[in-house]
Structure 1
Amino acid sequence: MPPRILVFYGSYRSDRMGIRLAQFVVEGLRGRGDDVELIDAKAVGLPMLDRMYKEHPKGQAPAVLEELAGKIRGADGFVFVTGEYNWGMQPGLKNLTDHFLEEWFWRPAAIVSYSAGRLSGARAATAWHGTLSEMGMVVISSTIGVGPIAQTLSDDGKPTGEAGKALERAFPRFADDLAWWVEAAKAQRAKKAPPY
């Protein structure tokens, strides 16, 4: 059975360039044989966090939270595709992530960042690393940074130019790293129940 990977994307802007990178990641992982689903925070449309999923009485959470909680619990690993807003993370993706906690535990997460400029969303990636670790995920050391995104990926998520070639060269190692941690975490969960 192939690993189940959720790719999270969080821009709410009307002209979303990062969706190109999310599509590239989804297609790249599918091309390796993974079972991949894109979770688009804008499409999911969660309200600003008032009550976490776990704070609802059992069986009484809104349907969208219940469905997403099930997908997160059923995943073997996660990829967070994040843009950088004013040196920080996108609020839409952060809001979606914060609705859950225990559902994330004991699985690896990878960070893919982007920006319109040359820094490739590096500051957002740094912020996400600590956040995802605090939420019980093992953040893999391999990351991907894309910038300027408009010069790296076409409208349909295909690599273009020299920057696109560099992205294609970087992706296999990134995906191998994620796959290794997915296999390791899955094997350990099967062997021994998590400590909490």
Structure 2
Amino acid sequence: MADRILILYGSYRADRMGIRLAEFLVDAFRARGAEPELVDAKAIGLPMLDRMYKEYPAGEAPPAMQALADKIRAADAFVFVTGEYNWGVQPGLKNLTDHFLEEWYWRPAAIASYSAGRFAGARAGLAWHGTLSEMGMVVVSSTLAVGGIGRALDRDGKPIGDGGAALAKAFPRFADDLGWWAEAARAQRAKVAPPY
């Protein structure tokens, strides 16, 4: 069974560079036989969090929120593609994530960070680790961190230069780690209902 993987991306900036990493991940997971789907917070356009999905009466959530809730529940795994804003997480991705809670439970998540500078979004990745764990996901130990993103991926998300070569080399272990946990979680959910 092919892993259904949501690739979540949250920049709202006009000249988004991280979309290159998100597109690379979609292509790379598809090449391995998975079923990845890009979830672009800017394209979905959820409002600033006022009411979580679960706080709406059944059938009354906004259509975009309902559609995303269905996708999250159907997914086997998640990849959070995060830039770093002032040592912190992107507000667009955080806002999208916070609209849901139980929908995330009992599935693995992986973190792919990036920045224009040499720290490669590592501080945002670290912040996301605790957030995703608190939201009921198992965060895999493998991460991707892409520094100098404009010199590592071209406009089509294809690896270029030394940074791109390093990303391409690191991706298989990252994907293997996420795939192992996705299969383990899927098998366990089929065997026994989650405890809550």
Match of 1:132 in 2: 132
CA distance in 1, matches of 2:163, 2:95: 31
Match of 2:188 in 1: 188
Q: How does 1:162-177 map to 2 (within 5 A)?
A: 162-177=162-177
CA distance in 2, matches of 1:173, 1:131: 23
Unaligned runs of 5+ in 2: none
3-state SS of 2:80 partner: strand
Do residues 87 (structure 1) and 87 (structure 2) align? yes
3-state SS of 1:6 partner: strand
| Cα offset, 1:54, TM superposition | 0.1
Match of 1:45 in 2: 45
Do residues 5 (structure 1) and 5 (structure 2) align? yes
* Number of residue pairs aligned between Structure 1 and Structure 2: 196
Indicate the percent of aligned positions where both proteins have the same amino acid.
Answer: 73
CA distance in 2, matches of 1:191, 1:10: 34
CA distance in 1, matches of 2:4, 2:140: 17
| Cα offset, 1:40, TM superposition | 0.2
CA offsets, 1:39-67, max 9 Å, x none? 00000000000000000011111111110
Match of 2:150 in 1: 150
Unaligned runs of 5+ in 1: none
Normalization by structure 2: what TM-score? 0.99
3-state SS of 1:89 partner: coil
Match of 1:69 in 2: 69
| Cα offset, 1:92, TM superposition | 0.2
CA distance in 2, matches of 1:173, 1:160: 19
Do residues 123 (structure 1) and 135 (structure 2) align? no
Do residues 31 (structure 1) and 61 (structure 2) align? no
3-state SS of 1:85 partner: coil
3-state SS of 1:14 partner: coil
Amino acid at match of 2:188: Q
Normalization by structure 1: what TM-score? 0.99
| Structure 1 residue runs of 4 or more that deviate by more than 4 Å after TM superposition | none
Q: Pairwise CA RMSD of aligned residues?
A: 0.5
Amino acid at match of 1:130: G
3-state SS of 2:110 partner: strand
3-state SS of 1:183 partner: helix
CA distance in 1, matches of 2:3, 2:146: 25
